[in-house]
């Protein structure tokens, strides 16, 4: 019982001293356990945040839409004109087979992007809630210390 009170007090001290990691850092379970068990000074805290996640999502959004037709190189020589003519014929022949695949891939990419935005929004909500709970825990721990000091007097 005394050991668990010590552990709780150590956790409260870590939170009060703002030594606890930022929830946007994406901690692993081992790092969280290390922090809660009192070895927070040895835990490695990653520095990637939610802003980088949003940057990655925006880059993916730019490349999410596949185009069936890519521009052909400019026709400068007779050889290039012949090659482009053959490419146009091949495109027309494979179009009925590839268009459904391209459409399916575009729908899949749109769904993945939607899910990534939802995850980002949920992460932001949980971060806000976590910070509010951290502030509440700090306030409760201060009240607990004050009540202990008043009880001792």
Which pLDDT tens digit goes with each residue over 109-129?
889 989 988 998 999 999 999
For 51, the token pair is: 């802003």
Residues 6+ apart with CB under 8 A from 16: 138, 141, 142
- Residue 123 vs residue 13, higher pLDDT: 123
**DSSP assignment, residue 63?**
T
- Residue 86 vs residue 68, higher pLDDT: 86
Q: What is the pLDDT of residue 49?
A: 56
24-29 — which CB contacts under 8 Å span 24+ positions? 24/49, 24/50, 24/123, 24/127, 25/49
Question: What's this model's pTM, rounded to 2 decimal places?
Answer: 0.51
pLDDT band, residue 56 (cuts 50/70/90): confident
Render pLDDT for 30-44 as a digit per residue (tens, 0 to 9).
555 555 555 434 333
């Amino acid at each position: 019982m005394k050991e668990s009170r010590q552990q709780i007090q150590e956790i409260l001290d870590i939170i009060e001293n703002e030594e606890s990691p930022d929830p946007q850092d994406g901690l692993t379970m081992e790092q969280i356990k290390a922090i809660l068990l009192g070895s927070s000074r040895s835990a490695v805290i990653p520095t990637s945040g939610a802003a980088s996640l949003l940057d990655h999502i925006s880059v993916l959004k730019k490349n999410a839409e596949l185009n069936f037709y890519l521009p052909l190189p400019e026709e400068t020589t007779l050889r290039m004109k012949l090659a482009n003519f053959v490419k146009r014929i091949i495109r027309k022949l494979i179009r009925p087979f590839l268009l459904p695949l391209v459409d399916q891939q575009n729908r899949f990419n749109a769904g993945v992007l939607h899910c990534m935005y939802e995850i980002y929004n949920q992460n932001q909500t949980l971060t806000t809630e976590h910070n509010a709970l951290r502030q509440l825990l700090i306030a409760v721990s201060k009240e607990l210390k004050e009540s202990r000091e008043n009880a001792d007097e």
